[in-house]
């Protein structure tokens, strides 16, 4: 897909949009969710996040044992979003000192996810709240001036 600023598409993505598209792995992963309300919520959560117009300041935590569809859902959405999806380093959401270069990779992303944390690693809930609920994130590349970007991610 070419960049289309009026549609808020300013980069290329990895997949063409097909309205009726489905996949057996996606259907199986959604089927592992408790009920149709949760399935519909997950569809809406990722769908609105993909548009860049997500206004509800939410971070979603997928929890559970292995082989229950968490990675299938995340990886499927990430693949569909192409360059709009970013895998986050665990250190970014852990405790410790904020550094503007750590969050540079968030700029322009619509899906940011962390698949696993270490066994003793804790997530910094204040940092998560600040990153999810802040309308403009400031960050900087190494040895560069800070830049700001309107948030458009999940």
| Residues in a beta bridge with 112 | 86
pLDDT of amino acid 38: 92
Other CB atoms within 10 A of residue 110 CB: 24
Read off the pLDDT band of 98 (50, 70, 90): low
**Which pair of tokens denotes residue 151?**
């948030």
How are beta strands 136-139 and 147-150 bridged, if at all? antiparallel
**Which pair of tokens denotes residue 72?**
């299938």
Query: Regarding predicted confidence, which is higher, 93 or 97?
Result: 93
- Rounded distance between C-alpha atoms, residue 64 and residue 94, angstroms: 20
Domain spans, the chain:
5-9+19-150
Specify the pTM.
0.74
Query: Regarding predicted confidence, which is higher, 142 or 119?
Result: 119
């Amino acid at each position: 897909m070419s960049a289309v600023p009026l549609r808020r598409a300013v980069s290329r993505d990895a997949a063409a949009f097909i309205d009726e598209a489905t996949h057996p792995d996606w259907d199986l992963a959604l089927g592992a969710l408790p009920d149709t309300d949760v399935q519909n919520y997950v569809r809406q959560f990722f769908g609105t996040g993909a548009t860049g117009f997500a206004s509800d300041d939410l971070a979603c935590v997928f929890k559970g044992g292995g082989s229950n569809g968490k990675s299938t859902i995340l990886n499927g959405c990430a693949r569909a979003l192409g360059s709009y999806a970013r895998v986050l380093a665990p250190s970014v959401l852990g405790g410790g000192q904020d550094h503007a270069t750590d969050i540079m990779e968030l700029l322009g992303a619509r899906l940011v996810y962390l698949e696993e944390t270490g066994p003793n690693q804790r997530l910094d809930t204040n940092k998560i709240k600040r990153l999810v609920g802040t309308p403009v994130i400031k960050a900087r590349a190494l040895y560069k001036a800070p830049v700001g970007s309107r948030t458009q991610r999940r």
